[in-house]
Amino acid sequence: MHRVFVYGSLKRAQPNYSYMIDGNNGKAEFLATAVTVQKYPLVIATKYNIPFLLNLPGQGNRVHGEIYKVDEKMLAYLDWFEKVPTMYQRTVVELEINEWAGRTGKEEKLSPGSITEAFVYSTTTYQLDWPSLPTYESYDSNGDHGLKFVLREDRK
């Protein structure tokens, strides 16, 4: 099992969350809400208003998201979904736990403020102007930024 940190459209109540809970893609269990230890630029870009985490540590904000425990099948699906390695890369990020929700048992329970690691998908390539775009601490497709996320099936 692997831990994955999601910060954008795959979070609960976001447009692509259904892929996280679709058993055909593998298993994913919500463990916790967390925030990155380091700052990163979380921007909304392209004509489809996609959230991107730029791999520029020390810039932007500490980014809020969710940690999931996923099996090999889900990790492979997420790699495909995130177009690794052409669009995104999967790297390890340090996270500070906000609230732990995972079931106790074999999985250790982490208290608020604890530091852990998880995989994160960040961009491998981006437009030169993206680092100058507004950055966000937390992504919400219906946020006051007014940049409505466009689902894959609606992209032309």
Burial profile 69-86: b = 16 or more Cβ within 10 angstroms, e = fewer: bbeeebbebbbebbeeee
Could you give the CA distance from residue 32 to residue 98 in angstroms, rounded to a whole number? Answer: 7
Q: Is 60 helix (H, G, I), strand (E, B) or coil?
A: coil
Q: Determine the residue type at 10.
A: L
Positions marked active-site: 82
Q: How far is the first Cα of the chain from the last one, in angstroms, to the nearest whole number? A: 36
Torsion-angle region of 78 (φ positive above 0: left; ψ -120 to 50: alpha; else: beta): alpha
Look up residue 54 and give its DSSP letter.
B
